[in-house]
């Protein structure tokens, strides 16, 4: 009897560890992302792309870009939103929880430790730390530009459409109130894509009619 | 108790209305926490500096730090009430967008194959590339590239070298961050 229960338990446990494995991997991948994201949400794209698209091949590049668009269109913390959409796409709500926790926990514990043990001044005045960060900050910019170029390839940007990303980037950079809000361009992108579809459908219908005549 | 509720409400607001991620959220956070008199303006600048120095999203960093400060003041149990404040503020800033993002993701996935969804995404993709570009442009400033000529030239070299490594080889970006930190330590 006891052996029977133990055997059952072993099987359940084995199944649990096998399925949990993916959740655990998801958690550790996003833990890495959370622990090495300097300079805000966009800087983590290079790391996420490496972990999710290149290394584990969980999702394709094109789908990655679509998920990025969803995450960006929602309010809240971009890093967490990206984790939520990717985790959910892979393993449902449980997956999104694992990914979100992985992103949040490193900075939560680090800031908590700083709040309890260190004052801001001690870090700011430490010459070693500030030297290290002087090196890291320009590298972060490079870490944003590199995935931008790879995503540009995936988005199939041609000579005709290259004006869209350039105009978007410059207008957001301009800092003019309202015009520099990213939300404007997300809405314009949605409407523009849809209009293009409607117009091309019309053209198809038009040629169809001509053929009949 | 009252202070905890105010804290939760402030971070619910930040989570729900903070569009654009990271630095775009800063002004909203500033208005909520400095405006409430929880911390001074100088302290806020310090928290931003710490957020730049430590990894992690600035929304989480500020919620954890300010939650701790407010909790310590309100709870009367030292660091235990501080940690309670951190947990509450962090959860408040994360949960509403979590639900929204999850719901939207499900909705879009359901209609993934409809021509409307496909056409909307074909319009969004080039915009998304532009958004990433603007993030890079906004970070090329004096805070990140230094003030003196020497600092700026070094920064530009580090930036170009990191770009070359990440774009043309298969090196993990985390390794590039560590290398850049090491270079900074050697140079400055």
Is B117 found in the same domain as B104? no
Place of tokens 């990303």: A165
**Chain A residues with CB-CB distance to B92 below 8 A:** none
E strand or H helix that includes residue B109: helix B79-110
Residue B142 pLDDT exceeds 90: no
Is B97 found in the same domain as B28? yes
Confidence of residue B169 (pLDDT cuts 50, 70, 90): confident
Selected residue of A64, A115, A183 to mutate for chain B interface (largest B Cβ count, 10 A): A115
Residue A210 pLDDT exceeds 50: no
- What pLDDT does residue B135 have? 77
Residue A174 pLDDT exceeds 80: yes
Q: Per the structure block, which two tokens stand in for A117?
A: 């043990």
**Chain A residues with CB-CB distance to B144 below 8 A:** 39, 137-138, 140-141
Provide mean pLDDT across the span B163-177: 85
Range(s) of the domain holding residue B78 = 2-108
**A127-154 vs B149-168: helix axis angle to the nearest 10?**
40
Mean pLDDT score of chain A: 80
Is B174 found in the same domain as B81? no
pTM above 0.80, yes or no: no
Chain A CB within 8 Å of residue B106 CB: yes
Distance CA B137, CA A153 (A): 20
Tell me if B55 and A36 make a contact (CB, 8 A cut-off): yes
Residue B158 pLDDT exceeds 90: yes
Chain A CB within 8 Å of residue B69 CB: yes
pLDDT in tens, A133-160: 788 888 888 888 887 887 788 778 888 8
Distance CA B129, CA A61 (A): 13
Is B91 found in the same domain as B156? no
- What pLDDT does residue A5 have? 54
C-alpha A100 chain-centroid distance: 11
Confidence of residue A4 (pLDDT cuts 50, 70, 90): low
CA distance A128 to chain B (A): 6
Is B14 found in the same domain as B97? yes
CA distance A33 to chain B (A): 8
Q: Is A49 helix (H, G, I), strand (E, B) or coil?
A: helix
Is B70 found in the same domain as B8? yes
For B117, the closest chain A residue by CA position comes to A194
Tell me if B128 and A182 make a contact (CB, 8 A cut-off): no
Tell me if B167 and A191 make a contact (CB, 8 A cut-off): no
Is B6 found in the same domain as B64? yes
For A150, the closest chain B residue by CA position comes to B167
Is B10 found in the same domain as B64? yes
The torsion angle over the Cα atoms of residues A34, A40, A45 and A47, rounded to 10 degrees, is -40
Span of A69-73, A75-79, B28-32, B65-69 with lowest mean pLDDT: B28-32
Tell me if A135 and B19 make a contact (CB, 8 A cut-off): no
Tell me if B180 and A138 make a contact (CB, 8 A cut-off): yes
Residue A211 pLDDT exceeds 60: no
Is B12 found in the same domain as B71? yes
- Domain boundary pick from B108, B138, B172: B108
Is B80 found in the same domain as B32? yes
Residue B14 pLDDT exceeds 60: yes
Q: How many domains does chain B have?
A: 2
Long-range contacts, B78-87 (Cβ 8 Å, 24+): B79/A116, B82/A115, B82/A116, B83/A112, B84/B4, B85/B4, B85/B7, B86/A108, B86/A111, B86/A112, B86/A115
Span of A194-203, B1-10, B19-28 with lowest mean pLDDT: B19-28
Is B144 found in the same domain as B88? no
Residue A112 pLDDT exceeds 80: yes
- Domain boundary pick from B108, B130, B158: B108
- What pLDDT does residue A3 have? 57
- Domain boundary pick from B108, B131, B146: B108
Q: What percent of chain B has pLDDT over 70?
A: 96
Span of A17-26, A119-128, A201-210 with lowest mean pLDDT: A201-210
Provide mean pLDDT across the span A55-68: 87
Tell me if A70 and B104 make a contact (CB, 8 A cut-off): yes
Closest CA relative to residue A182, chosen from B63, B22, B108: B22
pLDDT in tens, A176-202: 777 777 778 878 888 998 998 899 888
Task: Give CA separation, A45 vs A40, A59, A61, B39, B124, in Å.
Answer: 10, 14, 12, 32, 17
């Amino acid at each position: 009897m006891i052996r029977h229960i133990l055997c059952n338990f072993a099987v359940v446990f084995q199944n649990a560890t096998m399925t949990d494995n993916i959740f655990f991997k998801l958690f550790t991948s996003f833990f890495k992302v959370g622990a090495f994201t300097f300079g805000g949400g966009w800087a983590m794209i290079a790391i996420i792309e490496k972990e999710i698209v290149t290394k584990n091949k969980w999702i394709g590049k094109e789908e990655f870009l679509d998920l990025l668009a969803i995450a960006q269109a929602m309010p809240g913390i971009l890093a967490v939103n990206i984790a939520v959409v990717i985790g959910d796409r892979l393993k449902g709500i449980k997956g999104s929880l694992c990914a979100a926790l992985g992103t949040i926990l490193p900075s939560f514990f680090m800031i908590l430790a700083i709040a309890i043990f260190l004052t801001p001044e001690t870090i700011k005045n430490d010459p070693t730390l500030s030297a290290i960060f002087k090196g890291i900050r320009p590298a972060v910019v490079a870490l944003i530009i590199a995935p931008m170029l790879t995503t540009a390839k995936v988005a199939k940007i041609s000579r005709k459409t290259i004006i869209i990303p350039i105009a978007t980037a410059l207008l957001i950079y301009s800092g003019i109130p309202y015009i520099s809000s990213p939300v404007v361009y997300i809405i314009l992108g949605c409407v523009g894509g849809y209009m293009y579809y409607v117009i091309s459908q019309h053209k198809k219908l038009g040629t169809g009619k001509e053929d009949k005549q | 108790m009252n202070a905890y509720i105010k804290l939760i409400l402030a971070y619910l607001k930040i989570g729900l209305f903070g569009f654009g991620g990271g630095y775009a959220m800063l002004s909203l956070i500033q208005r909520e926490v400095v405006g409430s008199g929880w911390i001074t303006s100088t302290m806020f600048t310090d928290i931003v500096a710490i957020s730049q120095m430590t990894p992690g999203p600035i929304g989480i960093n500020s919620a954890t730090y300010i939650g701790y400060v407010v909790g310590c003041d309100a709870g009367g149990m030292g660091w235990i009430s501080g940690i309670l404040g951190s947990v509450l503020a962090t959860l408040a800033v994360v949960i509403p967008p979590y639900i929204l993002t999850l719901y939207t993701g499900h909705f879009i996935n359901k209609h993934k194959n409809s021509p409307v969804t496909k056409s909307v995404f074909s319009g969004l993709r080039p915009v998304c590339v532009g958004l990433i570009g603007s993030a890079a442009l906004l970070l090329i400033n004096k805070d990140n590239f230094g003030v003196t000529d020497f600092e700026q030239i070094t920064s530009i070299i580090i930036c170009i070298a990191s770009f070359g490594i990440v774009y043309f080889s298969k090196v993990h970006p985390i390794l590039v961050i560590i290398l850049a930190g090491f270079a900074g330590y050697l140079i400055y």
